[in-house]
Amino acid sequence: MILLPALLAGTLVSLALSARSRQTWQAPPIQAPWVAILAFLPQLILFYLPATRRLIPDAWVAAGLVISQALLLAFCWHNRRLPAFWILAAGLVLNLAVILANGGFMPISPETAARLIPQESLQALSLGERFGGGKDILLLEESTRLALLSDRLLPPGWFPYQVAFSPGDVVVAVGAFLLMALQGRRSPGIRFPHYEEKPC
């Protein structure tokens, strides 16, 4: 969920920089957007559609999550000429590493989960069970492989919307912010001349 605010913030910075330099803002020259759409489809079916997310066996859910992450990495490879995509890819690799190390799901500890749901709801869950019907699985931190990369980070307590996220998510968000923000960047003091094509 931190991806959308990062994209929005980057876009606002980019628009401000473009306006300051009196340049027309353009969207990033992203290649193969269909790969990103294809990568999101498994997550839409597995985690967001109420009609399907409770019906699919966990083994299929884990496989779908891994496939989705792999497709997102392929999307980054298609856009490797844009520097921000290397940051995006690094965050995806961190997330994929901890997901693969823990059976195809993103681990979340009971301590972190307790910040998100009432205690009585948490007590009804068993260790190793999916958390909230999403990509997370409830695991003790000492039983979690690559625990430092799990969904262990939370917004400040005063923030109105509480959601757990991973260090990989933070790296992805930084990459998304830079992808948009750099579109409006201009070197200070440099004017960009307009070239006209000359007939041969």
pLDDT tens track for 110-157: 999 999 999 998 999 999 999 888 999 999 999 999 999 999 999 988
Position 160 pLDDT exceeds 90: no
- Judge whether 28 and 22 are in contact, CB under 8 Å: no
Distance CA 184, CA 180 (A): 8
pLDDT-derived band of residue 199, with 50, 70 and 90 as boundaries? low
Distance CA 139, CA 132 (A): 14
- Judge whether 153 and 167 are in contact, CB under 8 Å: yes
Mean pLDDT of 31-39: 96
Mean pLDDT value across the chain: 89
Task: Return the H-helix or E-strand segment holding 163.
Answer: none
pTM: 0.87
The residue extents of the domains of the chain are: 3-184
